[in-house]
Amino acid sequence: MHDLEYIRRRQKLLEKKRKRAAEVEAKEEAIRVAKMKAEAREQEKTAARKKLLKEQQENDRLHERHVKRKQKQAQQKWDDRLDILLAQIKEQSRKQSKLEEIRIIIKKREPSLIELDWDRWLSIDLNKKLALLDFEYALEMFKRDNLMAKRRKRTRGKKKQFNYALTFSGDRSGATDSYATTTFNPDTYELWNGFTISFWVRPDEAMNQTSVMLGSKANSPNARFHFGIHSNGNINVGIGTANTTGINNPMEIGKWYNWVLTYTGEDKGTGERKVRMWINNDPRMTSNTNTRWANQDEDQTIYFGGRNTEGAYTQGFACALTNVAIYNTCKDSDGTFANEVYNNGINHNYEGSDDLVGYWRFSEGEGITIADTSGNGNNGTFGAIAGQTTAYPIWEKIK
């Protein structure tokens, strides 16, 4: 009995001991699991921090790369602009240098007195240099030289009485900008009440740029008074408020043409303020566009061979000009006066008309003055460009 009791107690003790050992082991296992979980969480945190740091570093690297690319693009853009600017300065300098060379050649050269073919013309050193600098301009000068030589040839040996015209160089690149000034102011003679202008002109250059044979352009657009060619090749007439550029141009280089223009007057009613034009007695324009010409009290005188724009020579035309007459009445509505002028010819004398307020016959043939024989004394005087004292129109004999 006692042995059995002892065995039972021993078994209970052993059971308790195993139970306590199991509990201890369970606690230790729980501690180990908790520790492992804590370590795992710490590793995850560490990995997350490393990932975040790496992402931040990558973002910083990309941002720095973007900034450098932008800086490089900005620098390249500035370099490109600088290159363009330097190229423009270089090109402008080259053109100015070229233009100066052309001016020097034009000043030194003398047109041939006889007709030459292209090869012989180029054999002249200055002509050859001109062709190398500007071929198209040299070709124009070649044609002009031969044209002048032909005219000189036709006049040699004849004993007929001659009158004169003035030839102007125009203001294309390389030209000497010859023109003549006058003291004739359209407002002085109240041309807004009606006028007539007649003149003879011979174009000596291609009519493909805006150019003027004679006239002025007042500060106000209400007092235009100029006659010439538009860049489209048509006739360009500026009278009062109107600047007409759509008139068909029948002229050919080297031929004489008579222009007659009339204006009915500012005091006419709507639809009656008309501008009319004839070239060689051929009607070119009958305008009833209600043209207005108000008295602006402008001090704007006319030039020959170009236009007076606020005291400055502009839009010169290479042409010959003679027998310019201006009347302060509208002398024509049906072409009668235009027919009379044309049939009387280039040298007819119109002195003595009571309404003749400006008349330049170009009959001097020498000197630097074109007399106004209307009695008003608005003589023409050769205009010299600053630094070019020889840049004058040239007298030319005409039949």
Q: Are the C-beta atoms of residues 188 and 358 closer than 8 Å to each other?
A: no
* Rounded average pLDDT over 204-229: 81
- For 109-221, where are the alpha helices, taking DSSP H only? 118-122, 125-133, 135-155
Separation of alpha carbons 102 and 177, rounded Å: 13
Is residue 109 a part of any domain in this protein? Answer: no
Is residue 175 a part of any domain in this protein? Answer: yes
Q: Are the C-beta atoms of residues 320 and 136 closer than 8 Å to each other?
A: no
Is residue 112 a part of any domain in this protein? Answer: no
Considering the domain architecture, whether residues 271 and 390 belong to the same structural domain is answered as yes
Considering the domain architecture, whether residues 367 and 237 belong to the same structural domain is answered as yes
H-helix or E-strand containing 321? strand 318-327
240 pLDDT tier (thresholds 50, 70, 90):
confident
Separation of alpha carbons 309 and 382, rounded Å: 17
* Rounded average pLDDT over 82-97: 75
H-helix or E-strand containing 198? strand 195-203
Considering the domain architecture, whether residues 279 and 392 belong to the same structural domain is answered as yes
Separation of alpha carbons 254 and 147, rounded Å: 8
Residues 6+ apart with CB under 8 A from 235: 228, 229, 244, 245, 247, 248, 249, 277, 279, 284, 285
Q: State the pLDDT at residue 359.
A: 97
**Per-residue pLDDT tens digits for 266-291:** 877 777 778 899 999 999 988 756 56
Which candidate, 349, 319, 280, 318, places its Cα nearest to that of 201? 319
Is residue 78 a part of any domain in this protein? Answer: yes
Considering the domain architecture, whether residues 213 and 86 belong to the same structural domain is answered as no
Residue 235, SS3? Answer: strand
Considering the domain architecture, whether residues 213 and 238 belong to the same structural domain is answered as yes
Q: State the pLDDT at residue 159.
A: 41
Considering the domain architecture, whether residues 171 and 35 belong to the same structural domain is answered as no
- Among the listed ranges 33-47, 98-112, 161-175, which one has the minimum average pLDDT value? 98-112
Considering the domain architecture, whether residues 295 and 352 belong to the same structural domain is answered as yes
Separation of alpha carbons 87 and 226, rounded Å: 39
Reply yes or no on whether the pLDDT at 312 is more than 50.
yes
Question: Tell me, what amino acid is at 7?
Answer: I
Is residue 295 a part of any domain in this protein? Answer: yes
Considering the domain architecture, whether residues 205 and 350 belong to the same structural domain is answered as yes
Is residue 245 a part of any domain in this protein? Answer: yes
Q: State the pLDDT at residue 199.
A: 97
Considering the domain architecture, whether residues 40 and 149 belong to the same structural domain is answered as no
Q: What is the dihedral of CA 44, 49, 51, 52, to 10 degrees?
A: 140
* Rounded average pLDDT over 340-344: 92
Considering the domain architecture, whether residues 143 and 77 belong to the same structural domain is answered as no
Considering the domain architecture, whether residues 208 and 145 belong to the same structural domain is answered as no
**Per-residue pLDDT tens digits for 146-192:** 877 776 555 454 444 458 999 998 888 777 778 899 999 988 898 88
* Rounded average pLDDT over 198-213: 91
The secondary structure of residue 192, as a DSSP letter, is G
Number of domains in the chain: 3
Q: State the pLDDT at residue 224.
A: 81
Is residue 108 a part of any domain in this protein? Answer: no
Considering the domain architecture, whether residues 222 and 348 belong to the same structural domain is answered as yes
CATH number assigned to the domain comprising residue 174 = 2.60.120.200
Full residue range of the structural domain in which residue 330 is found: 164-398
Residue 8, SS3? Answer: helix
**Per-residue pLDDT tens digits for 123-153:** 888 888 888 888 887 888 888 788 777 765 5
Q: Of 102, 127, 146, which residue is a domain's last? A: 102
292 pLDDT tier (thresholds 50, 70, 90):
low
Reply yes or no on whether the pLDDT at 14 is more than 50.
yes
What burial letters (b/e) apply to 239-258, b meaning 16+ CB within 10 Å? Answer: bbbbebeebebebeeeebbb
Is residue 256 a part of any domain in this protein? Answer: yes
